[in-house]
Amino acid sequence: MMDEQTLNQAFGQLQRVLGERATRDKTHRLGYSRDWSPRHRSHVDLPDIAVVPKTTDEVVEIVKIAYQHRLPIVPFAGGTGMGGGAAAWKGGIAIETKSLNRILELDENNMMVTVQAGITIWDLNEQLAHHGLWFPHQPESKRACTIGASIGCDNDSTFGLRYGKILDVLSNVVLVTGEGKAVRIGRRKASFTSTGYKLLDLIVGSEGTLGVVTEATLRVFPLPATRLVRGFVCRSLEDGIRALERMLGSGLGVESAHLNCRRRLHFYTHAYREKYQREPDIPDWAEAILFLSFAGDPEVVDFGLGKATRILVGEFAAEGVKEQEMVDGWWASKHTLHFLPFRQKWPDSQRQKKFGAADIGLPLGRVQEAYQRFLDIASRWGQDILGMTVYNESPNKPTASISFAVFVDDSTEESVANFYRYVKEMSAMAVEMEGTMSSYIGDGDRLGGFNELEHGESYSYMKRIKEVFDPGGIFNPGKKFESRWIPRV
């Protein structure tokens, strides 16, 4: 609990800076009390104060006040994170970032845009489209997910196979550090640099533990003239991966590739079943479904899809998905978000149980083995298995960023605890297989401390880096180095 006198003093100072955009009203604070991470349905993490800045200068003043009183600061954006990274576990000040939502500069000549970090990816692209441009970092949550949240979480993107993750399209940021200094970090508008240390890489995935990102400069691209999306059924996950390797090795420019196990497909075809009142037509022998998109000039797209089909069908005995409506429904779920009202996976498929995942990254040769172990581990902890998706998040090469997903019963504390026991065992398996515990959700309040198993001696250096940026220890405490759910190693 925070000292009430200290809170009152800090709140008075914040009101002088922000007026009514600083509040201690419980009704307002409830809006910042949880994200999409599995929790008991009654669980909340109330910040002591909520603030809504509109400029970098206002964030500077907020941080100075927090540093003076040693009050925790938790940046809060769209609230769609699944790891508890935005949970005000230790109270303090929740900084609502979504009013930092302006485009500051569109430099079409250099194909760069500078934005405030609270703009949503959806809104950014709505504005870029008027100029024939788009920003290709596209998580499924893009209607709510902000640029700052993508930087903080280092989340996945539908189009990672062509454009990579956020770091591949990020040039620089403005970061407000723990002492209340606004510092520009990165490489201006150049594509790369060999000078200094790569501090920008530290900020990506830092989950608000090193500072508050208030601005970002990003690479944008021309809108594709056309796009085709197709699905292919494969006999195994391994066949799907090898087929993708073969396609890329042939010189094809595949825009996106997502490999689903048979179980996971049912999650993505929720809207299809609602519309057509039947299951999609998938052969009994098919254990995996590979979805591909090709984008660009029409003749190039047609050639790419034709070549991919010849590789999949001719060399890997795959079959094209017969029902394009099912493929279109899957694509709506992943990208366009054009759903029938009230007939979508969020929230229809969430009414009884909540989505949860172990988001491990693995070497390609271990994916099939990991799938079998996933089924065993999830069953042992009583998890309702949803299925597995392999994302590809590195330009022009297969990279197994995997969602091992389950439905979590949030009606009892024990069922939620069993979910995190499942995550712990899956995370340890990832390290055993020479992979990583998290490839897109982040440490949040779930893997902190336990992640030392992955990082070994370098873990102590991470703590020292935290101290340099955040000498008062106020930024998102309890993240990266502690967990409420999984014990330390």
Where b means 16+ CB within 10 Å and e means fewer, 170-198 reads bbbbbbbbbebebeebbbeeeeeeeeeeb
Segment 222-241 shows an average pLDDT of 97
pLDDT for 253 equals 96
Q: Is the pLDDT of residue 470 over 90?
A: yes
CATH 3.30.43.10 fits 4-96, yes or no: yes
Q: Domain-by-domain residue ranges, the chain? A: 4-96, 103-222, 226-340, 352-440
pLDDT for 489 equals 65
Fold classified for 226-340:
Alpha-Beta Plaits (3.30.70)
Share of the chain above pLDDT 90, in %: 90
Nearest in space to 156 (alpha carbons), one of 402, 336, 329, 433: 402
CATH 3.60.15.10 fits 352-440, yes or no: no
> What is the Cα–Cα distance from 443 to 156, expressed in whole angstroms?
15
| Cα dist from 300 to 217, 229, 232, 254, 305, whole Å | 30, 14, 20, 11, 9
pLDDT digits (tens, 9 = 90+) for 250-301: 999 999 999 999 998 877 777 778 778 888 888 999 999 999 999 999 999 9
Structural tokens at position 222: 């021309």
Segment 374-391 shows an average pLDDT of 97
Helices 56-69 and 4-18 meet at what angle, rounded to 10? Answer: 160
Cα angle value 200/205/211 (rounded, 5°): 65
Residue 407, number of CB atoms within 10 A of its CB: 19
Residues 6+ apart with CB under 8 A from 397: 248
**Is 156:401 a contact under the CB 8 Å cutoff?**
yes
pLDDT for 270 equals 73
**Is 144:98 a contact under the CB 8 Å cutoff?**
no
Nearest in space to 151 (alpha carbons), one of 185, 111, 196: 185
pLDDT for 276 equals 84
Mean pLDDT, all residues of the chain: 94
pLDDT for 159 equals 98
Fold classified for 103-222:
3.30.465
pLDDT for 273 equals 80
Q: Is 135 helix (H, G, I), strand (E, B) or coil?
A: coil
Torsion of Cα atoms, 288 then 443 then 80 then 355, to 10°: 40
